[in-house]
Amino acid sequence: MKNKDILKYAFFRKEVIEFDKANVSIAANSLQYGGLVFGGIRGYKVDENNYKIFRLYDHYKRLMDANKIMAFGYDISYEDFKNIIHKLIKYNTPKGNFYIRPFIFCDQEIMGPKLNKLTFDLAIYMQNLDDYVNKESGIRFMTSSFRKYNDSAISTKAKVGGAYVNSMLATHQANICGFDEAILLNDEGHVTEASVANLLLVRNNQILLPIFTDGSLEGITVRSAIDILKYHNFKVLVRNIDRSTLYTADELIVTGTAMQVFYGQEVDGRKITHGDNPGPITTLIQEEMQKIIDLKHENPDFINWLTLFKI
């Protein structure tokens, strides 16, 4: 089925070509074994000639770290990566806000998960994207019985294609049980994250972040939210979080490139205190983020999170 939101040009085999012509073999090694790493980046249209991208360098860095962790051996400088994104924006001239999906993959028709025989390459496509979640009400979560894998099995610092079957199973379970999204605990029962987003909690006037070593991805949006909170002199406590802490949270803040900054309404049928509307801390982060994206924030360090492209 064709996705009408996908933009016409993609980067594939070292050049910009039509997305429809960027095809791989069904025997591609990455397709068979899930060995690929990917990123997800937000872009915004400013006007007919200008676009801006949120934290491009940080997304590049996480993708390259993932490539290193997975021993894929691909290499590209930030300058070259940025130039490809610029070229793609020029070719695609998105009509509104968009999403960029870069990934490092192997389409050789080689059987077996044998990294030393494989050569990896970069591909990038873009699609239109405004809201990823229905913004009428907060997210109704279920804690999944599918546990988050741990870093000694598959890196939790890399967005590894095959590892997303974990998110898939948890989300599917939540959906067939009538919930919107899943929260994954790790093998010790500690809260890690949602299927494609990080969590921040507000409880008893404390702001809590599940420690990354419990298994959550080092999200770029949650790091931005923390920087905003620190700028406003809030402390963020980083620790293990158990499920009852979730149930008794005053605010459950959900962050990710796709969802941006949003809020949880309930977890396993237990209502979050500020579950009907975004709570005060959620609102502060949302408003500050909007100011940053609009290039109106007074802190130049935050404005520098945006890379501007002229076409």
Which parts of this chain interact with ligand PMP (CB under 6 A)? 40, 159, 193, 196-198, 217, 219-222, 255-257
Q: Which is nearer to ligand PMP, 196 or 246 (CB)?
A: 196
DSSP 160: B
Q: Smaller CB distance to ligand PMP: residue 7 or 200?
A: 200
Please report how close the Cβ of residue 16 comes to ligand PMP at its closest, in angstroms.
24
Q: Specify the residue, 9 or 59, whose C-beta has the smaller distance to ligand PMP.
A: 59
Q: For residues 55 and 203, which CB has a smaller minimum distance to ligand PMP in the complex? A: 55
List 183's β-bridge partners, or say none.
143, 194
The minimum distance between CB 54 and ligand PMP, in angstroms, equals 10
Q: How far is CA 125 from CA 91, 155, 165, in A?
A: 12, 24, 21
- CB 40 to ligand PMP: min, Å: 5
CB of 207 to ligand PMP, least distance (A): 17
Minimum Å gap between C-beta 259 and ligand PMP is 8
Identity of the residue numbered 73: G
Encode burial over 59-89: b for 16+ CB neighbours within 10 A, e otherwise.
bbebbbebbeebebebebeeeebbebbbbbb
Smaller CB separation from ligand PMP, 58 or 268:
58
Cβ 125 vs Cβ 7: under 8 Å: yes
Spatial distance between the Cα atoms of 94 and 184, rounded to a whole number of angstroms: 35
* Alpha carbon distance 236, 226 (integer Å): 7
By beta-carbon proximity to ligand PMP, the closer residue of 118 and 191 is 191
Name the minimum Å distance from CB 257 to ligand PMP: 3
Residues of 3-40 as b/e, b for ≥16 C-beta within 10 angstroms?
Answer: eeebbebbbbeeebeebeebebeeebbbbbbebbbbbb
Amino acid at position 102, single letter: P
For residue 51, the minimal CB distance to ligand PMP (Å) is 19
Q: Which is nearer to ligand PMP, 118 or 261 (CB)?
A: 261
With respect to ligand PMP, which residue has the nearer C-beta, 65 or 90?
Answer: 65
Phi, psi of 4 (to 5 degrees): -70, -15
Of 262, 261, 256, whose CA–CA distance to 220 is shortest? 256
CA distances from 12 to 15, 125, 228 (A): 6, 9, 37
DSSP conformation letters of 99-153: EEEEEEE------SS-GGG---EEEEEEEE-S-SS-TTS-EEEEE-SSPPP-TTT
Least distance to ligand PMP, CB of residue 18, Å: 27
